[in-house]
Structure 1
Amino acid sequence: MTAELVRGQNHPLPDTRLEIRVSSGAPVAVAATLFDAAGAVAGAGRVVHPGAPSLPGVEVSRQAAAEHRLAVDLGAVAADVHRVAVLLALPADPGGPGRFGALAAPFVAVAVPGGAAVATYTLTGLDTESAVVALELYRRQGAWKVRAVGQGYAGGLAALFRDQGVPGAAGLAAAVQDAVAPAPAPTAPSAPAPTAPPPPVGAPAPSGGPVDYTHPRRRTATPPPPPPSAPPAPPGTPATPVAGDAAGWSMEERLYNQVWGMFEDLARTTAAYRSAVDFAESRMERELEGVLSDPRSRIGTAGDAARAEARARCRELTDRAREALDRDLAQLTAESDVVEPALPPAFARWDHPVWHAYRAPTEAPMALRLGDLHLRERPELRIPMLVRLPLERGLWVDSGRRGSEQALLMDEARLRRLALDTAVAHTARLLAVHPPGDFTVHVIDPAGSGAAAFAPLTASGVLAGPPAAGPGGVATVLAQLTRRVDLVQMAVRGGAGTEVLPPDLDTAGQLLVVHDFPHGFDDRAVTQLRYLADEGPAVGVHLMMVADREDAAAYGPVLDPLWRSLLRVTPVPDDHLADPWVGHAWTYEPPRIPQDSQVLQQVLASVAEARRTWRR
């Protein structure tokens, strides 16, 4: 299964021999920097680039191209190399784009040679940058991993190399540009023979082939730019927002990319505002300290005037920053107002009219909405929190009274019921966005205390069976799902098709909802649960826990890997989602079913009816 990385995410590499595939909307030069254990570059001789295209274990192309395939053998690099950074740079061509923001987002895939991709990364959010660190391969505890980086440099390769501490950065950057500079046009040019594009990495195998849980509509090439939708706005006026105004192969993918673009725009503009305010306040503090340190200006009218001027300059800078922020937020709000009504069911809120015309889909969506995100500067501007499908991490709906002030002040029983209602809403959406027969849900409720909350699921008949109760029920469900993971893993590793699996094995995607953990779980059941969390997602088995971490404290640190492997969501607003790149703490808003609405029951009834029709 291919891991689709986001910025900062890492993924283990199964082998040291790799192929790195690069796809971009224009010719780019590819290079690689080799770092030692201390994070230092020994010299320009540790940089692989088109002018010096090979070092032990790493080889890059000698020319700029829109498509690259780089050969990497991490087992052959020098023993002191602990990190390999893969760089992309636009050639210094006067007729070229000059910046990545003028192109479709570059796409990078790390694959086994001639085989499927292990991990992919689309470098979104680039603007004025002309060079970027795309990803890095690094050693960790004797094994190699890949990390998505996406750090761009408006100053080009020279700025990038200086930031990496490469000696002679400017000269090295010039050597790279000279190596990929276009040759003079021949007097009688001839067009090169067209070459067929490589087949999509991770494409589903033909019928009867190996088991493949890769999403059937995930593409690994750079999507085309959005179609022209409106004439350009006059200079100095903001563009009119249009739903789907982003690159993508379909309207769904364009909307997904547009939502992520809105998220990145909100992060950047808020970071710029906060940075400007911090600068204004720190400068005012320095100026006030200077006034106080000068005995001539401590007292009297001169000192008062100096202090007043320092405060006035701070207000002026802050006001200008706020004006820029308000302008950007107004544009994002206008974009949200046109995007939100256009979202498909998988991306839409529960109060969206699209749910009233719900029909079971014929194919799974590319992503799912788990709630909303906002920042304190504009709480009413909420960006959909979309996660890709199939889920690469399980979910943990936290029912504990910690974190947000709202959770701390809420009655414990009320909070636990909200957590269950949130889990049911997530489960219903997962069922609704998958075609009939493609997704199966199991529920473990050892003491039966969640019967009222699970009633919409049980009454509609969308579950694989009644919620499992008691130690025996827990053991049965866990044994069934661990057996499924074991058998599918063996089939995948052996390259076998679905025909080798037992006929009673449900190969559809599976979701296990666990309530009231650790009640009813013995040591064996806990081990099985951890196994499902770690190994299940790769073969289509996903975990959703509704639990308070403190309830499992008796197990000590043995369950820490379980909690860390799950994406924590909350039943009340909570600012626990950290953004390490710009330092924001995003407030997560859980999905809400409108009060007195029957939308959940209606959707689940439609799901159940579609399943009955599918089975006939």
Structure 2
Amino acid sequence: MTAELVRGQNHPLPDTRLEIRVSAGHPVLAGATLGDEQGRVPGVEWIAHPGAPSLPGVDVPGQAAADHRLAVDLEAVPGAVHRVSVLLALPGPRAGGAARFGTVAAPFVAVAGPDGAEIATFTITGLDSESAVVALELYRRQGTWKVRAMGQGYEGGLAALLGDQGLERPADLAAAILETVAPGPAPVAAPAQHVPDAERVRHTAPVTATDPAPTVPVTPPPPPPPGAGTDTPTPATSGGPVNYAHPRRRTAAAPGPAPESEPRQGPPTPVAGDASGWSMDERLYNQVWGMFEDLARTAAAYRSACEFAENRLDRELDQTLSDYRARADGANDAARAAARARRDELVARAQEVLDRDLAQLVAESEVVEPALPVAFARWENPVWQAYRTPAEEPMAVRLGDLHLPERTDLRIPMLVRLPLERGLWVDSGRGHSEAAGLLDEVELRRLALDCAVAHAARLLAAHPAGAFTVHVVDPAGAGTAALAPLVETGVLAAPPARGAAGVSAVLEQLTERVDLLQMAVRAGASDALPPGLDAARQLLLVHDFPHGFDDRAVTRLRYLADEGPSVGVHLLMVADREDASAYGPLLDPLWRSLLRLTPVPDDHLADPWVGHAWSYEPPMLPPGSAVLRQVLGQVAAARHGERS
């Protein structure tokens, strides 16, 4: 059965020899780019276009046309290629074409196997002022290939598309490619097959919602293509309504006896570290990121498909209600029942695809989670029992888990790159969290400080001996019990600062450090720093803010939040924003500059592509576990040994 994809949805490819059919209803240029695992194209020699229509494993048409057929052999592409992006571009008015996709029929793309049968189809709706679009992406995942419906348009045209894929001088390159389809003698082509009107297919365009502006919960490797373009509103109707029919879309014709092929295999067996990278840690990091990306997109495709089914049901019900002549004989009831049955069938198909993808991700998570290194692992992972101070800083640390409501037991590690790009804020207030509303204020504040101590311990454990220093500000001494593991193991640079004087002294010391380092960096005189200056990165854990902070201390705190990360000085705030409401909007930039975390599960994080509200779960220690003190004891012993 052919899979009818919506934007963001993926589908497995049962064969590596494919034919990609494009029906645009208007002349377009069709091409393809070969990219690495992040979608970046190494150079112009990895682009197939009318001027250079053949690459290893890819052949594209040599001229702009309303219909195209691209030949792809995924076994023949180079081993370094992980993504094949199929792109469409309008030749533009200079070549006698349209200026934007919003004035022409929505392009239709189909992926067919070697026997001519369609595997997946995609109608690219929602385009308006764009003149270039990435239609499909064929990508390698765990040794097998999948197709993803992209529909990522670019108002800047082919130049913007190529630039987004990492190519140099994209404007010149785009001009050269478009020049190959300028008006002139067209090459002789095989006569087009005539298709009777009865075989012409009309394809209903699905409705998709535009993505909201998101925040970023994790620091990824180079951004993947989705999210780099712009999902635009439905096409404008200037110059008459847009016709979404596809008069040139042909039904699949059997070209003859199909060649014998190997039997279809089930999903591949997950393998830990099955991603690109120079080391196992880097491969595992990239694999976790790939799992996050796959979960985001499969959930987005499911929600989009359900929304499309509901929208189509609403339209069909409205049509039945408007036909007053059919009310008397009961035809309306039958039409409504049929419309609901079609909706249920679409939702069931979407659920089947979702369940298949989630089952594969669950299987991968069960393999990957036990293989994670210390910095990426949960506290209950046995790898912590064998902890030793690392010789070098890892790529990232785990600050919790993320999950979506479609599968709450599938948790993706929330890995944050090192060095930290901004400070952290553990919110001890209730906010809008349902879990926080079930706790009293004292318990919530205690959990927030426990969570902050666990974060500080992870950061200490992730760095080599002496490379990370932690300071603590606890003005009223209210956090003595929670801070005991840090104090008693001797990992702190000094005892927690108490009272207004202690707060002022710590802030003044760190502010001067930031000033000195910034001046040295700007002057290129790092060797001129004072000999006694601690070269380690600094973390200031602030508890019970704003108690014990005067206006001068608040100003210094804001300065550290803004300027500190660039020179290795970071904040870890434990605070309820409502407690500082007396300062009004003065502190709004402070909260916005910090990555907000919570001591209880909360769905306040959004990803940068499809705007999902991800539920965050903090990395709490197992009840009764002594692993935190064991790890901090190792950190302290290594720190003191490094000094002696």
Hey, what's the Cα distance between the residues in 1 that align with 2:371 and 2:322? 60
Kindly tell me the number of residue pairs found equivalent between the two proteins. 445
Structure 1 residue 256 and structure 2 residue 285: aligned? yes
Hey, what's the Cα distance between the residues in 2 that align with 1:590 and 1:446? 25
Hey, what's the Cα distance between the residues in 1 that align with 2:84 and 2:41? 20
Structure 1 residue 316 and structure 2 residue 345: aligned? yes
Structure 1 residue 94 and structure 2 residue 54: aligned? yes
Report the equivalent of 1:176: 176
Match of 1:440 among 454, 465, 469: 469
Q: Which amino acid counterpart does residue 387 of structure 2 have in structure 1?
A: Y
**1:412-491 alignment to 2 at 5 Å?**
412-491=441-520
Match of 2:42 among 60, 66, 71: 66
Report SS of the residue matched to 2:538. strand
Report SS of the residue matched to 1:393. coil
Report the equivalent of 2:233: none
Shift of 1:504: 2.0
Distance 1:234 1:353, change over 3 A: farther
Report the equivalent of 1:276: 305
Deviates more, 1:434-443 or 1:285-294: 285-294
Preserved contact between residue 302 and residue 354 of structure 2 (Cα < 8 Å): yes
Shift of 1:374: 0.5
Q: Which amino acid counterpart does residue 94 of structure 1 have in structure 2?
A: S
Hey, what's the Cα distance between the residues in 2 that align with 1:506 and 1:289? 72
Report the equivalent of 2:239: none
Report the equivalent of 1:613: 641
Structure 1 residue 153 and structure 2 residue 182: aligned? no
Q: Which amino acid counterpart does residue 492 of structure 1 have in structure 2?
A: V
Distance 1:127 1:445, change over 3 A: farther
Q: Which amino acid counterpart does residue 508 of structure 2 have in structure 1?
A: A
Hey, what's the Cα distance between the residues in 1 that align with 2:353 and 2:499? 59
Match of 2:544 among 497, 516, 519: 516
Structure 1 residue 552 and structure 2 residue 528: aligned? no
Hey, what's the Cα distance between the residues in 2 that align with 1:534 and 1:515? 19
Distance 1:131 1:410, change over 3 A: farther
Q: Which amino acid counterpart does residue 464 of structure 2 have in structure 1?
A: P
Distance 1:529 1:244, change over 3 A: same
Report SS of the residue matched to 1:339. helix
Report the equivalent of 1:33: none
Hey, what's the Cα distance between the residues in 2 that align with 1:131 and 1:342? 41
Hey, what's the Cα distance between the residues in 2 that align with 1:324 and 1:457? 48
Report the equivalent of 2:296: 267
Structure 1 residue 576 and structure 2 residue 604: aligned? yes
Q: Which amino acid counterpart does residue 604 of structure 2 have in structure 1?
A: H
TM-score (norm. length: structure 2): 0.64
**Residue identity (%):** 65
Q: Which amino acid counterpart does residue 595 of structure 2 have in structure 1?
A: L
Report the equivalent of 1:391: 420
Hey, what's the Cα distance between the residues in 2 that align with 1:554 and 1:129? 55
Shift of 1:409: 2.4
Report SS of the residue matched to 1:456. helix
Hey, what's the Cα distance between the residues in 2 that align with 1:429 and 1:174? 48
Q: Which amino acid counterpart does residue 555 of structure 2 have in structure 1?
A: T
Shift of 1:89: 5.9
Distance 1:268 1:166, change over 3 A: closer
Report the equivalent of 1:119: none
Match of 1:336 among 346, 354, 365: 365
Structure 1 residue 504 and structure 2 residue 504: aligned? no
Hey, what's the Cα distance between the residues in 1 that align with 2:87 and 2:394? 33
Question: What are the Cα deviations for residues 305-353 of structure 1, in whole angstroms up to 9, with x where unaligned?
Answer: 1111111111100000000000000111111111111100100000000
Q: Which amino acid counterpart does residue 66 of structure 1 have in structure 2?
A: P
Distance 1:160 1:440, change over 3 A: closer
Hey, what's the Cα distance between the residues in 2 that align with 1:429 and 1:163? 44
Distance 1:161 1:613, change over 3 A: closer
Shift of 1:164: 3.8
Hey, what's the Cα distance between the residues in 2 that align with 1:544 and 1:248? 31
Report the equivalent of 1:26: none
Distance 1:160 1:342, change over 3 A: closer
Hey, what's the Cα distance between the residues in 2 that align with 1:364 and 1:234? 46
Hey, what's the Cα distance between the residues in 2 that align with 1:166 and 1:493? 39
Preserved contact between residue 403 and residue 412 of structure 2 (Cα < 8 Å): yes
Shift of 1:496: 1.3
Preserved contact between residue 56 and residue 78 of structure 2 (Cα < 8 Å): no
**1:561-572 alignment to 2 at 5 Å?**
561-572=589-600
Report SS of the residue matched to 1:154. strand
Distance 1:234 1:411, change over 3 A: farther
Distance 1:421 1:234, change over 3 A: farther
Match of 2:376 among 347, 352, 374: 347
Distance 1:129 1:519, change over 3 A: farther
Report SS of the residue matched to 1:384. strand
Deviates more, 1:439-448 or 1:583-592: 583-592
Distance 1:234 1:388, change over 3 A: farther
Larger Rg: 2
Hey, what's the Cα distance between the residues in 2 that align with 1:162 and 1:467? 53
Distance 1:590 1:479, change over 3 A: same
Report SS of the residue matched to 2:571. strand
Match of 1:400 among 429, 446, 456: 429
Report the equivalent of 2:241: none
Shift of 1:303: 2.0
Q: Which amino acid counterpart does residue 415 of structure 1 have in structure 2?
A: L
Distance 1:476 1:405, change over 3 A: same
Report SS of the residue matched to 2:391. coil
**1:581-592 alignment to 2 at 5 Å?**
581-592=609-620
Preserved contact between residue 134 and residue 153 of structure 2 (Cα < 8 Å): no
Match of 1:296 among 290, 310, 325: 325
Hey, what's the Cα distance between the residues in 2 that align with 1:533 and 1:162? 36
Q: Which amino acid counterpart does residue 382 of structure 1 have in structure 2?
A: R
Q: Which amino acid counterpart does residue 554 of structure 1 have in structure 2?
A: A
Distance 1:346 1:174, change over 3 A: closer
Report the equivalent of 2:269: 240
Hey, what's the Cα distance between the residues in 1 that align with 2:301 and 2:511? 48
Unaligned runs of 5+ in 2: 1-39, 59-71, 90-131, 138-150, 162-170, 182-219, 225-261
Question: What are the Cα deviations for residues 111-153 of structure 1, in whole angstroms up to 9, with x where unaligned?
Answer: xxxxxxxxxxxxxx96645589xxxxxxxxxxxxxxxxxx971
Question: What are the Cα deviations for residues 347-386 of structure 1, in whole angstroms up to 9, with x where unaligned?
Answer: 0000000000101111010111110110000000010011
Match of 1:543 among 564, 568, 571: 571
Distance 1:468 1:300, change over 3 A: farther
Unaligned runs of 5+ in 1: 1-63, 69-87, 107-124, 133-150, 182-217, 223-232
Q: Which amino acid counterpart does residue 603 of structure 1 have in structure 2?
A: V
Report SS of the residue matched to 1:371. strand
Shift of 1:300: 4.6
Hey, what's the Cα distance between the residues in 1 that align with 2:79 and 2:560? 38
Hey, what's the Cα distance between the residues in 2 that align with 1:126 and 1:95? 14
Hey, what's the Cα distance between the residues in 1 that align with 2:626 and 2:312? 56
**1:21-100 alignment to 2 at 5 Å?**
66=42, 91=49, 93-96=53-56
Shift of 1:93: 3.7
Hey, what's the Cα distance between the residues in 1 that align with 2:492 and 2:438? 34
Hey, what's the Cα distance between the residues in 1 that align with 2:625 and 2:436? 24
Hey, what's the Cα distance between the residues in 1 that align with 2:342 and 2:88? 36
Preserved contact between residue 89 and residue 131 of structure 1 (Cα < 8 Å): no
Report the equivalent of 1:527: 555
Preserved contact between residue 133 and residue 153 of structure 2 (Cα < 8 Å): no
Preserved contact between residue 466 and residue 536 of structure 2 (Cα < 8 Å): yes
